[in-house]
């Protein structure tokens, strides 16, 4: 059995809707990749890994590009046996907080927030089970992965919906910067 939690920043997408690598975009003078790592540290997670390819950062390469973040997580689980669980966050949610992530960490059986499949706390033992794509095709969704592992959602804390703003397009980024 492993010890502790590994933080995983999902930064492997193509950022095709944004038109540039989201991880390197600046919000309040800081790169989104740096903010994501800070959120994990504020939650008390010190072993942090970046899944994907971000220039200037040490990353875990995506061994199945184009198959989506869930497939990347299943693959990563094979290399993280030293840990009990993963706290997985997307690179493109710059308003997350350490406190929001800590709530997930207190759910030993794993958890994610209702209507938001990431961030998620995933016990590694649950990722060891065979996971399939019920829809066929090449990409497994995070929603399907969490469903197959039996990880349950928890209610979103009242008034904290804005913390889950996902920045996928230039319009999303404009909305984010307009919130300052």
Residue 72 pLDDT more than 60? Answer: yes
What CA–CA distances, in Å, run from 177 to 39, 78, 88, 89, 95?
Answer: 18, 38, 24, 20, 11
Are 49 and 9 spatial neighbours (Cβ–Cβ below 8 Å)?
Answer: yes
Percent of the chain clearing pLDDT 70 (strictly above): 86
The DSSP code for 86 is E
Strand partners, 6: 47, 86
Give per-residue pLDDT as tens, 125-161.
Answer: 888 766 666 555 556 788 888 988 899 999 988 878 8
Angle at 131 between CA 111 and CA 82, to 5 degrees: 65
Q: Give the pLDDT of residue 115.
A: 87
Domains and CATH numbers, the chain: 5-178 (3.90.550.10)
Percent of the chain clearing pLDDT 90 (strictly above): 48
Buried b (16+ CB within 10 A) or exposed e, 99-130: ebbebbbebeebbbbeebbbbbbbbbebbeee
The model's confidence at residue 70, banded by pLDDT at 50, 70 and 90, is confident
Give per-residue pLDDT as tens, 87-120.
Answer: 999 999 999 999 999 999 999 999 999 989 999 9
Give 163's contacts (C-beta < 8 A, 6+ positions apart): 93, 95, 96, 97, 100
């Amino acid at each position: 059995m492993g010890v502790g939690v590994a933080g995983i920043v999902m930064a492997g997408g193509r950022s095709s809707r944004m038109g540039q690598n989201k991880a390197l975009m600046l919000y309040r003078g800081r790169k989104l990749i740096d903010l994501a790592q800070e959120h994990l540290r504020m939650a008390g997670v010190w072993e942090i890994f970046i899944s994907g390819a971000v220039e200037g950062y040490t990353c875990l390469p995506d061994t199945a590009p184009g198959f989506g973040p869930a497939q990347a997580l299943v693959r990563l689980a094979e290399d993280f046996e030293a840990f009990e669980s993963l706290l997985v966050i997307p690179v493109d949610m710059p308003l997350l907080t350490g406190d929001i992530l800590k709530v997930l960490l207190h759910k030993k059986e794993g958890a994610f927030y209702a209507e938001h499949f990431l961030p998620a706390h995933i016990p590694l033992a649950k990722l060891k089970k065979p996971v399939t794509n019920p829809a066929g095709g090449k990409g497994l969704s995070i929603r399907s992965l969490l469903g197959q592992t039996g990880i349950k959602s928890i209610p979103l804390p009242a008034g904290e919906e804005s913390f889950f703003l996902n920045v996928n397009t230039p319009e999303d980024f404009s909305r984010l910067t307009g919130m300052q």
